[in-house]
Structure 1
């Protein structure tokens, strides 16, 4: 029940009840003068009672609307919290890291050259890797030879040698062991990283003439 409607109904009933008091007293005294007093009290009381009856449903509807609005606001707040949690979850499930680095750097030795073309740093299953794409040119070896015979290669992070995950330096069918008769051959190697950071690559020529060369490959 609405406060205003209830107050009007209560006031109206009180006035109506009070209007009967002089009427009853005059009836006992067999007088008629109380009729005007009774009407003065009963009239406003009846009006107040009617207004209260009219206002009560309106107050009830207002209360119901306020309750519905409160429920809606709570639902919207809960929905916002769910969206926020979903956004955080999506952020946690973001795409894995990946950076492609264009190198295009040539290292020249007496009898061959090595050109680093590209390095691709990426994340996979919670681990970090780098793919190294390079080409080597057999310039003066007198017969077919391999990248393995031309030079060795060491890939490091913070001075620590990394593992080539495809066993390329032992697998005789890999690019490292392809016989190059005098020309250019492409080599692709994949190393597992200790951290998602750049690497140092050392080229160690096998001709015992040239010195070891190294290059730094940083993530852009």
Structure 2
């Protein structure tokens, strides 16, 4: 049976532009955007059974166990049904990657490669409206009024973990954690790396790639 459903994963370091690229993919291709982090937080807010279990680990600053995360992800994929979808920033471990492949074979894995010095400079200018999570960046996504949220007018803040030395360490930890996942997808010939210093450089590459891949997917059996 032929299918038009396209299943993909997008990976990239913190502040590599995943959010912006994700939005453009959703707008251009109509994929359902699935963010496990957002989903876990939503389950916590609504006090679901899954949320109660996840909250315990999140409150202790620990990673939520794979089995809880996978249940959350697979449940959402089931809800999506016969629609193309994109997992944002997931999987993060080899075990998650293997379980995802066993349940949902992928058509593509996109990995954003942005130099660390660019990310560190980008994060230095990041300001956040904590109640909503809206993010601003001085120089390319400035708030209308410096230091104030566009919607509410409330104060913006800079997080301690956005300091250059902290960001550099987070990037190192990310690369060490993701290496087995990237190697796994490389062996499956699923991963494509997109390099650039800005979203303006990377997006045209991603757009062209997905136009070709989605056309191909509709003419092949899953």
TM-score range, shorter chain: under 0.3
| TM-score normalised over the length of structure 1 | 0.19
Q: Calculate the TM-score normalised by the size of structure 2.
A: 0.19
Say which one has the larger Rg: 1
Which structure is richer in relative contact order (CA contacts within 8 A, separation 6 or more)?
Answer: 2
